[in-house]
Amino acid sequence: MSDKKLVVAISSRALFDLQAAHDIFEQEGVDAYCQYQIEHEAEVLAKGVAFPLVQKLLNLNDAAADKIQVEVILLSRNSADTGLRVFNSIEHYGLDIVRAAFSGGDMPYRYVRPFGAHLFLSADPEDVKAALDSGLAAATILPSKANDSEEPLLRIAFDGDAVLFSDEAEQIYQKSGLAEFEASEKADAEKPLPGGPFKEFLAALHNIQSHYPAKMSPIRTALVTARCAPAHERVIKTLRAWDIRIDEALFLGGRAKGAFLAAYGADLFVDDQQGHCDVASEFVLTGHVPNGISNKQ
């Protein structure tokens, strides 16, 4: 196994249910929040919406064989003092998370790159937007129906334009319509699309997959896109040019994605369009990627 492991950074509010404490912060301020967290330090936090995903990520490691394929880093706006409750909860659930940054109210995304993380998941849209603007793969975790399946296989699904790929094609679609978009994509079928913010994350998943026979990989990936023929060809040839494996590709031609993601069994789906995310979140854990022309308004 290559020593190049997958590193995922996650916020405390995505990992645990901190809504009660966050409400106190919003309504009464930081001092009341700090007092509340310290007073409830011994109380274990309930699992957050991304907890099952983190558990599956960590289960990819084989501690007995000393084979570490995935590391999860905790990033939090808490101070070290108020963050003690979070670490107590990590210990309670037996999560192998040992590295963390408590930024004391400042944006914690600044530590994504120094930790070498391929992905940042947070419940705070402001932190996510700042991370994306810095060239990092990031998504805002929405209130979602998380996959509670006990299947060990990790299933990650991606939208295409503005997520895996740049939004150059999406710009044509929004400015000139479907016919012009399809004509442009057909004409450029041999020209690989530029990479989007999640290209390197997909590459990191592929790196782990490449050490297993295809049918024995612990990770399965899918492209779930509103594209259809003839705009499918450029996408397929782009992934081929990148030499990155994608296990499944769903070209839905505008169909709602939720039921397809449920059928796939996604542990995480990321999309740049809020409407698609709202629908998907009713079926699977969903992250909004505020990138590209759809998020310029």
Catalytic residue set = 159
**CA-closest candidate to residue 207, choices 118, 270, 96, 99:** 118
Which DSSP symbol is given to 106? S
Cα torsion 247, 253, 259, 260 to 10°: value is -10
Residue 270 in tokens: 């990321």
**CA-closest candidate to residue 202, choices 235, 176, 230:** 235
Which DSSP symbol is given to 66? T
135: left (phi over 0), alpha (psi -120 to 50) or beta: left
Q: Is 30 helix (H, G, I), strand (E, B) or coil?
A: helix
**Which residues is 73 bridged to in the sheet?**
9
